[in-house]
Amino acid sequence: MTLTECAEQLNYHPSYIWKILKAERNMTFTDLVNLEKLETAKELLLNTELSIAEISEQLSYANTQNFIRFFSKYVDSTPGKYRKEHKGQEDKSRL
């Protein structure tokens, strides 16, 4: 989703949404979208058996490598390593 599409959905001008995000959350619209994608990716990695490619596709990445680069940049781990490390921790906490 783009800022313009979001503004149209909310019936606001794009610059108004940009200003509010900057003032209230000190982030850009792109930052917000990336944050949401990252949280969705983490949830899908830990709570589904979807492959990395399938998750990448669900999050609208052009290819899996772009998703892996994006995820690694923000999490400092590849999606596969994240799943392996955190899924094990999550399973242990349920015991």
Ranges of each domain in the chain: 3-93
**d(C-alpha 93, C-alpha 75), whole Å:** 21
Return the structure tokens found at 17: 């949404």
pTM of the model: 0.80
pLDDT at 95: 47
CATH architecture label of 3-93: Orthogonal Bundle (1.10)
Amino acid identity of 70?
Answer: F
pLDDT at 1: 81
92 confidence band (pLDDT: 50, 70, 90): low
Question: Quick one: how far is CA 8 from the chain centroid?
Answer: 22
pLDDT at 61: 93
Q: What is the pLDDT of residues 17-74, one digit of tens each?
A: 999 999 999 999 999 999 999 999 999 999 999 999 999 999 999 999 999 999 999 9
Cβ-proximal residues to 42 (8 Å cutoff; 6+ apart), any chain: 75, 82, 86
* Residue position matching structure tokens 């490619």: 53
